[in-house]
Structure 1
């Protein structure tokens, strides 16, 4: 794993690259290249190549890598050092304590988006408590399918971070319609739903915003959730290179004010929600005022609020259909 500017000076150690040594070297190399979270990237790359989970890497820290593994790893490290997202390199990302297949056709799921799952699950359970059978949810711009899949899991009794002694959660019948513009994204979303046993709960459709829906579905959804493109034009160059140069621009860029999708999404939300239905939308931190104004302009929405994520950024618009 050495480069022209970095040479190992130990004797037999030169030829023996253990998991511990590989992680340490890759961490240092990616740090020098300005890569975010270099240690995590190193663990992901080594774990992917040797076929081990993170805990196993450290339990078997002195496991030597084979020549074939080193060759594969070397090629991946070169790409990671050029700011290619490590999640694309290994083909997966974790979200809501679940593993999701990812690829260049979709955004990489972010921890901040997990707030949407939690909010949607709470709204769906409230609808069920008020007699909704089944609870219906609409997701616009599903991408990897992580939000819909995790909401389905949450309503079927699965919870993140629970203890064995926690009381069981009663499952709720859920029907989800999840849409996306990109056929390759829908293929990925279907595969992820199947991997987590949620296929029967989610119907995937192709189209922009509300185009895939039919007239009889108006006023039938208890929850409407979306993580739409919302990056403003003046924010584009501020983004990290691994995002700006590799993740799909169509899933990120929202126009001059970042409202190209958000505005029609908010304006039309009431058409598809039942009275009392909940709108849950991810936004950019600088769009606090714009999304509040858009929601206030929709006379059919009430209880408008903008919430912060775990990092203290404005991240989620919520509102209720009157």
Structure 2
């Protein structure tokens, strides 16, 4: 008689095995892999502890665990990751979205909400750290705790919560966007009716532009460029899979602003980018699952990590309207130097913005 592997048994075994292999978040990784294999959310796993895995599921789980232990990013193994409110498909050859980049989107939305978008139509952003999401996370955790309490062996299964790959909570409860009405503080805001125009350079999976479109539906047009054909293909796939308007996501293959028409220049409210920014001498210090698997083209940017940023500074004035926002994610040790480059190029109100770990991560500046 074939040995029976239930979801509970597989989860417990995988956690123990990954811990023995030196993984720092074995419970979280085991849940992520098993959720992908079974097509169940985390809470569904806990509610289905006694369900046997099929032979096909066991084989796939074994394959996934082997790949993970060899150093392959879990996002490539499962084929997806969570980014703000979206599930983003990931493929080898395209940079994996990072939690830090979620704040880059937030900065763009704050600017657009305050300066460009009709104040009576803007949606409140839904982030993993918003109150609504936190409430849902607590409700989910309570349900899981209740399920674990009923199971005699639950106390031995670990208590790590499901999270993004940086440890921030992921909520599997579907939270609808809520509408908020903000009184306009001046006549210009009240009369604003045009759509915001955003240019993203180096779109990768499309996570930045697609998040902007998802969180401000019908209010933004995004033109997104990338030099890598694999990235353009994946971004198009994500747009279709998320059922976001292709008319508002204008995806173009090419280097920097090469695909931008002359008549479009000077018409963008925002130029946003998460460019390559790793200094050459830092590359060898990166984790194996980054340096051995993710595309070097999307990672390394010269001796100080600012080679691509300098190119962006050169083209940004051609693209932006007066008062437009230029904002990039950068290597933490290079942010002050990047800010100075902006000042020297004539940008005003230059700011260095920290990420959630309080490390310098973004540089924002405005066209005079």
1:98 aligned partner: 86
Counting only pairs closer than 5 Å after superposition, residues 184-199 of structure 1 correspond to structure 2 as 184-198=230-244, 199=246
1:123 is matched with which residue: 104, 111, 121?
111
1:114 aligns with 2:102: yes
Tell me the distance in 2 between the aligned counterparts of 1:266 and 1:311.
26
1:81 is matched with which residue: 69, 93, 97?
69
Tell me the distance in 1 between the aligned counterparts of 2:56 and 2:356.
41
Question: What does the per-residue CA deviation read over 1:23-46, in whole Å, with 9 as the maximum and x for residues that have no partner?
Answer: 222222222323353322211211
2:25 aligned partner: 37
Counting only pairs closer than 5 Å after superposition, residues 21-32 of structure 1 correspond to structure 2 as 21-32=9-20
2:136 aligned partner: none
Tell me the distance in 1 between the aligned counterparts of 2:59 and 2:281.
41
Q: Aligned-residue CA RMSD in angstroms?
A: 1.6
Aligned partners of 2:265 and 2:319 also within 8 Å: yes
Tell me the distance in 1 between the aligned counterparts of 2:7 and 2:302.
45
Aligned partners of 2:202 and 2:226 also within 8 Å: yes
Aligned partners of 2:326 and 2:364 also within 8 Å: yes
Tell me the distance in 2 between the aligned counterparts of 1:234 and 1:24.
40
- Count matched residues: 294
Tell me the distance in 2 between the aligned counterparts of 1:261 and 1:29.
41
Tell me the distance in 1 between the aligned counterparts of 2:319 and 2:94.
25
Output the TM-score relative to the length of structure 1: 0.87
Aligned partners of 1:267 and 1:294 also within 8 Å: no
Tell me the distance in 2 between the aligned counterparts of 1:34 and 1:20.
22
Shift of the alpha carbon at 1:207? 1.1
Output the TM-score relative to the length of structure 2: 0.77
2:199 aligned partner: 138
Gaps (5+ residues) in structure 1? 1-11, 157-171
Q: 1:221 to 1:132 in 2, by over 3 A?
A: farther
2:172 aligned partner: none
Tell me the distance in 1 between the aligned counterparts of 2:243 and 2:353.
31
Tell me, what secondary structure is at the counterpart of 1:175?
Answer: strand
Q: 1:36 to 1:179 in 2, by over 3 A?
A: farther
